Amino acid sequence: MAERLVTFDTDGTLGIVTLRRPEKFNALDIPMLRALEAALDTAEAADGVRAVLLCGEGKGFCSGGDVEAWSQMSAADFQVQWVRYGHRVFDRLARLRQPTIAVLSGHALGGGLELAVACDFRVAEAQVKLGFPETSIGVVPGWSGTQRAVRRFGAQTVRRMAIGGELFVAAEALALGIIDRLVDTGKAFTEAKAWAGKIAERGPLATEAAKLMIAVAEGEESAAATEALASGFIALTGDLNAGVDAFKAKQKPAFSRS
């Protein structure tokens, strides 16, 4: 069953990652996180996929971490197996080479909102609610809700959700910059797909490079992005070819700075 918890499909140049646990409003547990990580790996490696949609099956996008999955863990297991592993998976999403759009056709709460925040863009339907309700049950946002969300939306907006307990409807979330587009009920996937299609028409290498540079400016990643950009540039040079050819021939390379 694990392989069906999260699926990856393609539609032309678009990839579609879908959370498939509708009976639990797509609540995340360890098998779900593993399946999501595997789907993202597949999306990253998919030739010709230039934008990725993240969807939730059923009435909810994602209700967050499954309380039954973590509430019986020891403190050590909760820290390592739950929080740190969840961070790794969410970072994987945030650093996917392709632009990503979260399709919010249902509520995004707690870890579900953190998941949406890890995407580049968010399209939400009018009835959707968003927030970080974790403190109401005595825990805190643990998958970047106090970090990535603050960088992207500002500390005061996150305070209102994580400390003040406010849940924002989609129209309020749009005004605060939490979502990028607001659509009528039932229209999120169509809108997101059309938007992703326009993104996919742009220069793929330039788009990926722009995403990396924005990530550096935002503090999402620095060392890996800098080295990736520099290495990609070097890989196109004649100097690299000269160096590799000389290495294979066991000769001294003649670099031309070309």
Which positions are catalytic?
134
Report the alpha-carbon distance of residue 107 to residue 63 in Å, rounded. Answer: 7
Residue 232 phi/psi, 5-degree rounding, is: -65, -40
Alpha helices, H only, the chain: 30-45, 67-70, 75-77, 85-94, 111-117, 148-153, 155-162, 170-175, 188-200, 204-218, 223-234, 238-249
Neighbours of 98 (CB within 10 A): 22
Report the alpha-carbon distance of residue 27 to residue 33 in Å, rounded. Answer: 10
Q: Which residues pair with 209 in a beta bridge?
A: none
- Please name the residue that has the structure tokens 């990580």: 37
